Chain A
Amino acid sequence: GENVEQHPSTLSVQEGDSAVIKCTYSDSASNYFPWYKQELGKGPQLIIDIRSNVGEKKDQRIAVTLNKTAKHFSLHITETQPEDSAVYFCAAKGFKGAGSYQLTFGKGTKLSVIP
């Protein structure tokens, strides 16, 4: 099955600086890579995703890059703000039997933005 590794597990940045979180995956057939943000006391929420036919995607201060050859993808947050403080999870979509799929999640990165 799919294995997703995520680094770092914790990250502290000064407000206004950039933050980068990296993930690697094992299954070359995986074709969809979402990023979820989990705020304290809440369920994870999708913030951005990328498919395997695209190398980069950007949404305002958030961007994701994908390197299929190396099987890794990264989340970039620019001009960080205190409200970006949360736990971030990467995931990769692998395929299961009977035409279904499974999202395998990384272990998460706790991002702290220091005002």
Chain B
Amino acid sequence: EAQVTQNPRYLITVTGKKLTVTCSQNMNHEYMSWYRQDPGLGLRQIYYSMNVEVTDKGDVPEGYKVSRKEKRNFPLILESPSPNQTSLYFCASSLFAAGGQETQYFGPGTRLLVL
């Protein structure tokens, strides 16, 4: 089944404790992206990747890191989480980085609480 998976689905952590949220897709998609969803703010892009070893900042990249060592995986790293990073996070992928097949397939989401 074609899908985007994220782990963990729920996470409670404390300020400053490094964490990683994994994202994996099995559709051989070039383009992958991370969003955060906050009430009243919609979906905001954190980082995106056009292909292996090619990443760039979205609209709200502060406090986050990403890497793309393999085409299927795009982990989101919070080196020192803070309470303002409490949010619902979505990973998404689409076929081509240059467009033409822009449909984004979203994962199920990771709900993060930073105390």
Query: Which residues does A use to contact B, with CB under 8 Å?
Result: 1, 6, 9, 32, 34, 36, 41-46, 49, 89, 93, 96-108
Instruction: Tell whether, in the assembled complex, residue B40 and residue A103 are in contact, meaning their CB atoms are under 8 Å apart.
Output: no
Those 5 A-B pairs whose CB atoms lie nearest each other, nearest first = A43-B106, A107-B42, A105-B43, A105-B42, A44-B106
Question: In the complex, how many angstroms separate the beta carbon of A34 from the nearest chain B beta carbon?
Answer: 7
Q: How many residues of B contact A (CB 8 A)?
A: 26
B48 within 8 A of A: yes
B40 and chain A: residue at smallest CB distance: A107
Contact, CB under 8 Å: A103 / B56: no
Contact of B43 among A9, A89, A99 (CB under 8 A): A89
Alpha-carbon distance between A42 and B3 when the two chains are bound, in angstroms: 13
- Chain A interface: which of B14-22, B68-76, B94-102? B94-102
Which residues from chain A contact B87 at a C-beta distance below 8 Å?
Answer: none
Partner of A99, one of B45, B58, B59, B98: B98
| Contact, CB under 8 Å: A102 / B45 | yes
CB distance from B1 to the nearest CB of A (A): 14
CB-based nearest A residue for B35: A105
**A-contact bits for B27-58, CB 8 A (1 contact / 0 none):** 00001000100001111110010100000101
List residues of chain A with CB within 8 A of the CB of B104. 34, 44, 46, 103
Given A1-B59, A89-B43, A98-B50: A43 and B108 interface contact (C-beta under 8 Å) = yes
